[in-house]
Structure 1
Amino acid sequence: MDSKYTIQDIADMAKVSKSTVSRYLNQGYISQEKMDKIKQVIKETGFQSNFFAKRLKMKQSKLIGIILPRMDSVTVGKLLEGVNRILEPEGYQGLILVSDLKKQKEICNISNLQQQGVDGIIIDSLGITRGHLQLLKSFDIPVVFTGQQHTAVHYVKIDDEGAGRIMGAYVRQKGHHHVVFAGVTNMDRAVGIERKQGFIDAFMENHPKAKVDFVKTGFSFESAYASGSEILAFKPTAVVCATDNIGLGVLRYLHEQKIKVPQEISVAGFGGYAVGVVSYPALTTVAFDYELVGMKTAQGLLDLIAGKKMESQSNLPLSFIERESVCGRQRDGVDKDRI
């Protein structure tokens, strides 16, 4: 029985990929044909007993805790795709807990995962509080945050303020003076403060007539739709939504009120969700690569587990996508032809 075999060796002998062997070892799904091939090679080499003995000796569970704010989100799905792309080939499995958009539950989930013996934790956080920092002081496993940042922790996130500035400059250049920003509360620092403030700063720059009103919504399509009448009460020429999901809820409300978009009111969002392409009109947005965020977060965590350094990041690439939901305005407030 040779103890020097690696996962790659087993993959080569079975003529399958390394990730397929990892799925087999971690009881993930693979075809029966591939399962039989791997099982035969493992039987011949004695690899499996050595593999799990090594795990016990190194005191590794090969489990990564993942805390999410919610499951019914496009961004969460993309984030998990990126995380899994890195973890799976290395033989790690994710153990997912959901905080239901509650900070205290998020903190409890962190504690629960640590007690379950995970090798590290990824937190798609609502906001990093003193409670988070106090709890993490007692941890001997690495933790990486995504979505939020703080100087006392490791993190990977998009540039929310920069995204807001891109949209603010664009809407200003389109000739809009009065905008409603539809978004979430300051509880979520990245979306509720940084993204909104970036938009306001860029929109109002050298723009003396500029006015921005704020309407609070939740993250859901339904909560945005329910805020439609409050948004219209301000009589804006444009509605900038903190996420594409909010934007879709606003679009639905405007359609039902027979208000033409963008001729009467322009609408824009953030996120770059695929559904924004098929909405009518297609939604102008600042797109984020959430899969890349997930990949960099997972790789950073694995580096920390291996005793390497990790550089926190808050400047991942953004891309502005101009579609049909925003048009220009004349100085007298009359709509231009769509550009």
Structure 2
Amino acid sequence: MGKLGYYMEQKVTIKDVAELAGVSKSTVSRYLNNGYISVEKQVRVRKAIEETGFQSNFFAKRLKTRESKLIGIVLPRMDSVTVGKLLAGITRVLEPEGYQSILLVSQLSGEKELENMQKLQQQGVDAILVDSVGITPEHVRRAKEWSLPILYTGQQQAEVHCLKIDDAAAGHRMGVYLRQMGHKHAVFAGVTESDEAVGIERKAGFVAGFCEGRTDAQVDFVETGFDFLSAYNQAEEIRKLAPSVVVGATDNISLGILRYFHERGVHVPEDISVVGFGGYDVGAVVYPALTTVAFDYELMGMKAASYILNLLRGKGREETNLDMPLFFVERESVRDLNAAVDEPSLNAMPGMA
């Protein structure tokens, strides 16, 4: 009986493939796990696998080792600066540890988010990381009952593993700044309160900081989506409220409003001030450059990945540094109304006609 006939009747092993290809077992293993081997050896190993009918059974491997080296990631959307940076941070930590990611997108739908979690659990991933649009009782139940670690980012819930920035503190910092700049009437352009972090906490923090110690301060609210276009489409409604400053719940919202004002000859910050949250790079290059509270989303991704790894190793929350810094970035998009009041008129200055 020839070698190929033997392989057809017997269970083929890595050793058999290695012998037929004329390479070591470790070389075959590296090939199967996407490790580096020369192109010439890749051709030989692939040919040997085809001839023997050998298949590396992923699920059998999982049953034996109880790990797949796969992390499931559920994202709310892909067309977002923050998501790109979050993923970069996650990959930066997971890849050196030999993990790969499976990405699913929920399109800002809480129901789709739960469906995607179910799919990942059924595929046998080692852990799931969810950049959540909102943590519901069902999210909590799964985190408690499923055998694999689940980490939620972007939202906070005491009963589950979470990682998020301090949205209330970010909003408060912006509110205090604008109060100190003499602004009394603001419009907060924000998203629905179903997103607790951005829609509730960030807004509440801003209102507290802006209105603190004042009875004449006013904050109106106009709902937009997260995207540039929905903010642009709501800008006329915002303009009709005649605030001295518009506070976008994200930089993306603020940029849509800036665009609308520019097209209609509304000068920022001379006629109206605009600020945001996020610290997107584009905010530094638009005119006027956008004042914002910046978040380090890549660092968040790195911390989230480290948190997941610690959970997989049986370590708890206390083993991970979860502090997320905030950076206030003052640029050109805010007018100091105190200076406008204190500055004497040119006509009233001595020597001026």
Q: Give the shorter-chain TM-score range.
A: 0.7 to 0.9
Whose Rg is larger?
Answer: 2
Name the structure, 1 or 2, with higher relative contact order (CA <8 Å, separation 6+).
Answer: 1
CA distance in 1, matches of 2:343, 2:185: 13
Q: Aligned pair 1:326/2:349, yes or no? A: no
Gaps spanning 5+ residues in structure 2: where? 1-13, 15-26, 46-54, 346-353
Q: Retained in 1: the 8 A contact 2:143–2:149? A: no
CA change 1:260–1:114 in 2 (3 A) is same
CA distance in 1, matches of 2:105, 2:335: 39
CA change 1:235–1:99 in 2 (3 A) is same
Question: 1:71 maps to which residue?
Answer: 78
CA distance in 1, matches of 2:129, 2:222: 31
Question: 1:10 maps to which residue?
Answer: none
CA distance in 2, matches of 1:292, 1:336: 47
The CA deviation at 1:308 is 1.5
Q: Aligned pair 1:275/2:282, yes or no? A: yes
Q: Retained in 1: the 8 A contact 2:294–2:326? A: yes
1:173 to 168, 172, 180: 180
Q: Aligned pair 1:157/2:164, yes or no? A: yes
CA change 1:335–1:26 in 2 (3 A) is farther
Q: Retained in 2: the 8 A contact 1:183–1:216? A: yes
After superposition, residues 4-153 of structure 1 pair within 5 angstroms as 26-27=33-34, 35-36=37-38, 57-153=64-160
Question: 2:242 maps to which residue?
Answer: 235
CA RMSD in angstroms comes to 2.9
The CA deviation at 1:56 is 5.4
1:260 to 267, 277, 287: 267
The CA deviation at 1:315 is 4.3
Q: Retained in 2: the 8 A contact 1:159–1:315? A: no
The CA deviation at 1:135 is 3.0
CA distance in 1, matches of 2:96, 2:236: 49
CA distance in 2, matches of 1:336, 1:300: 56
The CA deviation at 1:257 is 1.0
CA change 1:334–1:183 in 2 (3 A) is farther
Cα deviations across residues 142-188 of structure 1 (Å, max 9, x unaligned)? 00010001111001110100000110000110000100000101010
Q: Retained in 1: the 8 A contact 2:88–2:298? A: yes
CA distance in 1, matches of 2:344, 2:116: 51
CA change 1:23–1:331 in 2 (3 A) is farther
Q: Retained in 1: the 8 A contact 2:74–2:130? A: yes
CA change 1:151–1:100 in 2 (3 A) is same
The CA deviation at 1:242 is 0.3
The CA deviation at 1:137 is 3.3
The CA deviation at 1:112 is 1.2
Question: 2:203 maps to which residue?
Answer: 196
SS in 2 for 1:227: helix
SS in 1 for 2:145: coil
Cα deviations across residues 52-77 of structure 1 (Å, max 9, x unaligned)? 89765312111100000000000000
Q: Retained in 1: the 8 A contact 2:132–2:155? A: yes
Q: Which amino acid aligns with 1:290?
A: Y
CA change 1:38–1:136 in 2 (3 A) is farther
CA distance in 2, matches of 1:76, 1:316: 16
Q: Retained in 1: the 8 A contact 2:128–2:150? A: yes
CA change 1:291–1:93 in 2 (3 A) is same
TM-score (norm 1): 0.83
Cα deviations across residues 196-243 of structure 1 (Å, max 9, x unaligned)? 100000000012211000000000000000001110010001001000
Q: Retained in 2: the 8 A contact 1:23–1:88? A: no
2:229 to 222, 230, 250: 222
The CA deviation at 1:116 is 0.7
1:246 to 253, 256, 263: 253
Percent sequence identity over aligned pairs: 57
CA change 1:26–1:213 in 2 (3 A) is farther
Q: Which amino acid aligns with 1:209?
A: D
SS in 2 for 1:324: coil
The CA deviation at 1:327 is 1.4
The CA deviation at 1:310 is 2.3
CA distance in 1, matches of 2:169, 2:40: 48
TM-score (norm 2): 0.80
Q: How many equivalent pairs are there?
A: 307
Q: Retained in 1: the 8 A contact 2:86–2:299? A: yes
Q: Retained in 2: the 8 A contact 1:240–1:268? A: yes
Q: Retained in 2: the 8 A contact 1:159–1:314? A: no
